[in-house]
Structure 1
Amino acid sequence: MPKILIVGGGYAGFYTAWKLEKWLRAGEADVTVVDPLPYMTYQPFLPEVAAGSIEPRHAVVGIRRHLKKTRIIAGKVTGISHASKTATIASNAGDTWEEEYDQIVVTAGSVSRTFPIPGVADEAIGLKTIEEATAIRDRILVNFDKAAQMAPGPERDRLLTVVVVGGGFAGIEVFAELRSFVSALISSYPEISFDDTHFHLIEAMGRIMPEVSLKTSLWVIDNLAKRGAQIHLDTQLKSAVAGVVELSTGESFESDLIIWTAGVMASPMLKGTDLPIEERGRLRVRADLRVEGDDGIVEGAWGAGDVSAVPDLTGGGVGGFCVPNAQHAVRQGKLLAKNIVASLRGEGVKEYFHKNMGAVAGLGLGVGVFQSGKLAIKGLPAWFAHRGYHGLAMPSWERKLRVIWGWVNNFFLGRDNVSLEARVHPRAVFEEFASRPRPAAPAAAPVPPVAAEKPANPELPGSYSSEPAATAEVNGVAATDSSPEAPKAKATKPRTKAAAKAPAGE
C-alpha cells in the first residue's frame, strides 16, 4: 500500500487524517501521524481556558481516541529527505530512525514569533498551547493569594499587574478575558480592590484587531477602558528584564505576568528538509495544496495550515496568502484529504478557495464583537455568536458536548477559581515527608598489627598471647588479662592469709 506520512497533529494534520480514514477504501493506503503530543489543541479556546471559563481538557481532542485506523507515532520529525522519500523521526521514547513514505503531508503548524527584546525570553509566556493557558490562569490565582497577605507597595502592585504584548485577535481576547476573570475574582478577596489591579496591552501599530473595521476596534478600546484596562497604541516593548516593563514612550512599571501574542512563524522544523521554502520560512505550496518548487510541482509532497504559504484566491489575504488561523487550517485539512484520495485514484485535484465570512471574538463574559463586511454586532449578541460558532466548530460531538456542558455549569455555578500550580511539582509533598534509610554507621578503626608476642601477664612467666591485654581494676589497682572475654582480673596486691589458703587459680 502507498504510505502517507503526516507531519504534525494540529488542525490541518488532524483533519487530514480524520477525513482520510473516512474516504479511503480498505487497503488503499497506510496513514501515519507523527506528533509529540497526544492531542490536538483547539486554540480559539485558549483565552477562555486562561480565564477559567473552559476546562483545559475540554479544549483538546485526543488523537488516538478519534483516529482509529491511523498509526500514531509520539515523537518529532527532525528531518525530511524528499529526494529519497525518508523522514528522520525522534520518538518520545528516545529512539531515532528513518521512516520511508510515498506521500508526505507537512502540517507542522507554527510557533510564537518573538524579537530579541531583553528579558522577553526569560520573563514572558506565549499563548499557543494548552499548557501556557493553564499556567496563566494558575499564575493569576497564586498571585492573588500572595497579594492578599501583603501591605500596599511595589511588590503587591507587581503581582496584580498583567501585561499583554500584541493587539491582534489572540492578544485582545486573552486581555479582555483576563480582565473579566480578575474582576470576578475580587469578590473572593476582600483584601484586594478593583483599583489595585492593573492591565496593560502594548501594540506597536496605531490600531488593534485589523480583522475588524476601525470603528469596531475603537469600540473595543472604549469598552476595555471602561473596565479598567489600558491599551498603549504606537508603543513598543523595549525591555522586560526581571519583570520591569519599559516602553518606547518612556513609561515603566513592573509585572509578574507578561503574555506575548505578537505574531507567529512557521515551525522551524522546515529548516531540516529539502522542501522548497519561501522568504518567510513557510512551505511553498500551490492553491491545490501541492508543494511547488522552482521546477514545478514536487510530486508526493503536500502542505497546509500555518506552516504553509497557501495562496488566497479570494484576494483578501495578507500579501496574497491565507492568514494563519484555525478557520483556514480546518478547511485546508479537509480539502487536503480529498485531494490526496483523488491523486491516489488518478482523479483531478481542487484548489482551495474560502472567502472569509467574518470575524468573531469573545471579550469576557457577556461581551463580544462580530464583524462581517460592514455589518458589526457588539456586546451580548456577539458574545452568543462567538460561543455558538466555536462550540460547533470544535471537532467531534463528544468534545462539543463537553465544552457546552461546561458553559452551562459555569452559568449556574460560576467559574472555578482554584489554582493547581502545585501540579508542576507533584512529588514535592511526598518527598518532604517520605522516610529515608538512616546513614550507615562509620566503620570501626582497624586494629594495628602487633610487632612481636609478649607475655600476657608479666607476673606469670611463660604465658603469651597475641591479643591486646584487657584491663580491669581490683581494689583500686589496675590489672590485665589476655582473655578476649576479660575474666576476673588478678590483683597485684599481696594476698591476705585467707586468700593464701585459697586454691591456686582462683
Structure 2
Amino acid sequence: MAKKILIVGGGYAGFYTAWKLEKLLRAGEAEVTIVDPLPYMAYLPFLPEVASGSIEPRHAVVARRRHLESTANIAGKVTAISHATKSVTITPNVGVPFEFAYDHIVVTTGSVSRTFPIAGIADNAIGMKTIEEAVAVRDRLVGNFERAATLPKGSPERARLLTVTVVGGGFAGIETISELRSFATALLRRYPEISFDETVFHLVEAMGRIMPEVSQETADWVVKDQTRRGVQIHLDTQLASALDGKIELSTGENYESDLIVWTAGVMPRPFLRGTDLPIGPRGHVIGSPSLRITTEDGVALEGAWTAGDTSQTPDISATPGPGGFCVPNAQHAVRQGKLLAKNIVADLRGEGIAEYNHKNMGAVAGLGVNTGVFQSGKFAMKGYFAWLAHRFYHGLAIPSWERKWRVFGGWVGHFFLGRDTVNIEAVQQPRAVFEEFASRPKA
C-alpha cells in the first residue's frame, strides 16, 4: 500500500518538501497531503518591498494548488499530534475536526512573531510575518499621508500620522524601516502639502548594534546611511510602552506614532508544546542533522521529520549559527525542505539518508530603492550593486518561473512608471459602503 505522508504547514520548508516529493516519488509509492489554513506560500523576504509598494502582494505568494499537482491540500490547521498512534487532529477552516492517520509526518509549521508584554503592542502594532501584514502597513502609510495632508501643519495629530516606529534591528527590521523611508520619500512628490522634515522614522533596537548576520563595519555603514536618509536609530534602547500609540523608550524619550511595526524576533507555534513530540527549551521541535525528529537523547522517532523555523536543527557547517543551531531564515528552510524530501524517499526505499550541511551563501539586504548591502565572509558590498544583487538573488529564489516572471516584470514596470501609490485601505472593510446604503426591512 502507498505510504501516507502528512506535511503540517505549507510555508517554505513544507512547500519545498512537497514540491520535491512530487518529482522523486514513483507512481503509487506514497500519498502526500499538506495541511495549512492558507492556500499559498508567502515568500517572506519580499514583505518589506510589498510594504513599500515595490512588489505587487499577489506576486510575493505562490499558490500551492497551481504548483503542487499531485499533493492533496487540506485548508485547515493541525490542532493535535499523537505520534505514538501516528495520527493528528485536523480542524478545517470550515467544518468539524477530524482524525487523520499517517505513516510519515513532516512538521514544518514555521514561526510567528514573538512579542513581549509591553503595554499597547498587542493592540496597536502590526507584525511583518505575513503578506496581509505587509499590505496593511503599506495601506496605513499611504492612508496616513492622505489624512495628514488635510490637517494644519504643526498639529499633534498630523505629527502622529507622519511618525513611523519599527521595533527590532535584525534583517527584517532594517529592511522594513529602510523600504518604508524610501517609500515615504517617494510619496512626498504626490503630497506637496507635506515636507520631508515632517516625516519621522524611528528604529528601536535593544542591542548595541543592528544586523548581527553581517560584520560590525557593514552594520555601522547601514546606520550612517539610514541616518543620512532620515531614520533615527535608537541602539541599546528598549520599548517601554506603546499604549494608545504613545511611545515611551527606556532612554526617557517620548513621542506619538500611528504606525508601529514589530519585527523583534520570532518563535515556533505554541501548540507544538501540547503534542507528544520532543520539544526544545525554546519551543522548537528537536531535530537531527538528517532532519529526523529525535528525543533529547538523540533517539530518532520513526516516520517523524522536521525542518525550517519550527525545528531545532544542529548546524554542522563550518560556520555554525548562534547556539549551534540553524538560524530561522529562508535560506535554511528552502534547502532543508529539498533535502528532507530526498531523505523521506530514501527512507521509504531502505536507502541511506544524508545530513544537512550547508555552505553559507552570505547575507543580502535591500535598503530601499537603489541601495543595499551584501556580506559573504569578509567580503562586503554596499550601495547600488548590492541592491541589484539583493533583487536578482531573491527574484530567482522565489519558486516557479511563473512567479519569477511576475516579480521581474513588476520591477521593470516600476523602473519606467514608478511605484504604484494607490491606496486601497478600504479593502480591509469591504462591506462598509454597501452596509451604509443598503435598504433594510421596515420595523
Normalising by the smaller structure, the TM-score range is over 0.9
Q: Distance in 1 between matches of 2:296 and 2:336?
A: 23
**Distance across 2 between alignment mates of 1:327 and 1:274:** 29
| 2:377 counterpart (350, 358, 373) | 373
Could you tell me which residue of structure 2 aligns to residue 452 of structure 1? none
Question: 1:302 and 2:295 equivalent?
Answer: no
Separation in structure 1 between the aligned mates of residue 140 and residue 231 of structure 2, nearest angstrom: 19
Equivalent residues of 1:78, 1:272 under 8 A apart: no
Q: Which residue of 2 aligns with 1:311?
A: 314
Q: CA deviation at 1:318?
A: 1.0
Q: With structure 1 as the length reference, what TM-score do the two structures score? A: 0.86
Q: Distance in 1 between matches of 2:117 and 2:224?
A: 32
Distance across 2 between alignment mates of 1:316 and 1:351: 14
Q: Deviations over 1:82-116 (max 9, x none)?
A: 00111000000132011000100000000000111
**1:176-195 → structure 2 map (5 Å cutoff):** 176-195=178-197
Q: Which residue of 2 aligns with 1:94?
A: 95
Match of 2:63 in 1: 62
Distance in 2, Cα, partners of 1:357 & 1:335: 17
Q: In the aligned structure 2, how far is the partner of 1:18 from the partner of 1:354?
A: 20
What is the rounded CA distance, in whole Å, between the counterparts of 1:174 and 1:294 in structure 2? 37
Aligned residues: 439
Counterparts of 1:375 and 1:13 in 2: how far apart (Å)?
33
- Alpha-carbon RMSD across the aligned residues, in angstroms, is 0.8
Contact 2:286 2:296 in 1 (8 A): no
Q: Does 1:415 align with 2:419?
A: yes
Name structure 1 gaps, 5 residues minimum: 440-506
For 2:167, the equivalent position in structure 1 comes to: 165
Aligned partners of 2:151 and 2:261: how far apart in 1? 24
Counterpart for residue 259 of structure 2: 257
Q: Deviations over 1:230-258 (max 9, x none)?
A: 10000000000000000000000000011
Query: CA deviation digits over 1:321-340, x for unaligned, max 9?
Result: 00000000000000000000
Paired letter, 1:321: F
* Counterpart in the other structure of 1:199: 201
- What are the equivalent positions in structure 2 for 1:247-396 lying under 5 Å apart? 247-294=249-296, 296-314=299-317, 315-396=319-400
Q: CA deviation at 1:272?
A: 2.5
| Relative contact order higher in (CA < 8 Å, ≥ 6 apart) | 2
Aligned match of 2:429? 425
Q: CA deviation at 1:71?
A: 0.6
Separation of aligned partners in 2, 1:331 and 1:422: 39
Gaps of 5+ in 2: none
Which residue number in structure 1 is paired with residue 30 of structure 2? 29
Alignment of 1:214-233 (within 5 A): 214-233=216-235
Measured in 2, the distance between the counterparts of 1:389 and 1:251 equals 39
SS of structure 2 residue aligned to 1:354: coil
The offset of 1:269, in angstroms, is: 2.3
Q: Which amino acid aligns with 1:188?
A: R
Distance across 1 between alignment mates of 2:361 and 2:138? 32
**1:140-189 Cα deviation digits (max 9, x unpaired):** 01100110000121111000000000000000001000000000000111
Structure 1 residue ranges (4+ consecutive) displaced by more than 6 angstroms after TM superposition: none
Give me the whole-angstrom Cα distance separating, in 2, the residues matched to 1:254 and 1:146.
16
- Equivalent positions of 1:486-501 (< 5 A) are none
Give the whole-Å Cα distance in 2 for the aligned partners of 1:342 and 1:378: 43
* Matched residue type, 1:424: Q
Q: Letter of the aligned partner of 2:229 in structure 1?
A: R
SS in 1 for 2:35: strand
Partner of 1:234: 236
What residue is the counterpart of 1:147 in the other structure?
148
Deviation of 1:294 (Å)? 4.1
- The amino acid that maps onto 1:129 is T
What one-letter code is carried by the residue in structure 1 that aligns with 2:294?
A: E
Equivalent position of 1:492 in the other structure:
none
Rounded Cα–Cα distance in structure 2 between residues aligned with 1:429 and 1:218: 49
Q: Partner amino acid for 1:176?
A: S
Structure 2 residue aligned with 1:4: 5
When Rg is computed on C-alpha atoms for both structures, the one with the higher figure is: 1
Provide the C-alpha distance between the structure 2 equivalents of 1:287 and 1:436, rounded to a whole number of angstroms. 63
User: How far apart, CA to CA, are the structure 2 residues paired with 1:126 and 1:94?
Assistant: 29
1:396-407 correspondence to structure 2 within 5 Å: 396-407=400-411
Tell me the amino acid that sits aligned with residue 218 of structure 1.
D
Deviation at 1:48, TM superposition (A): 0.1
- Distance in 1 (alpha carbons) for counterparts of 2:47 and 2:101: 36
The whole-number CA distance in structure 2 between the counterparts of 1:402 and 1:22 is 24
Q: Is the 8 A contact 2:363 2:376 kept in 1?
A: yes
Match of 1:18 in 2: 19
* Residues in 1 aligned to 2:316 and 2:107: alpha-carbon distance in whole angstroms: 21
Letter in structure 1 aligned against 2:405: L
Q: Match of 1:49?
A: 50
Alignment partners' CA distance in 1, 2:359 and 2:22: 27
Calculate percent identity across the aligned residue pairs: 70
**Structure 2 residue identity aligned to 1:191:** E
1:224 counterpart letter in structure 2: Q
Matching residue of 1:174 = 176
Paired residue secondary structure (2:322): coil
- What is the alpha-carbon distance in structure 1 between the residues aligned to residue 162 and residue 239 of structure 2? 19
Following TM superposition, by how much is the alpha carbon of 1:316 offset from its aligned partner in structure 2, in angstroms?
2.0
Residues 33, 71 of structure 1: 8 Å contact kept: yes
Distance (whole Å) between structure 2 residues aligned to residue 294 and residue 70 of structure 1: 32
Task: Give the Cα–Cα distance (whole angstroms) in 1 for the partners of residues 440 and 209 of structure 2.
Answer: 60
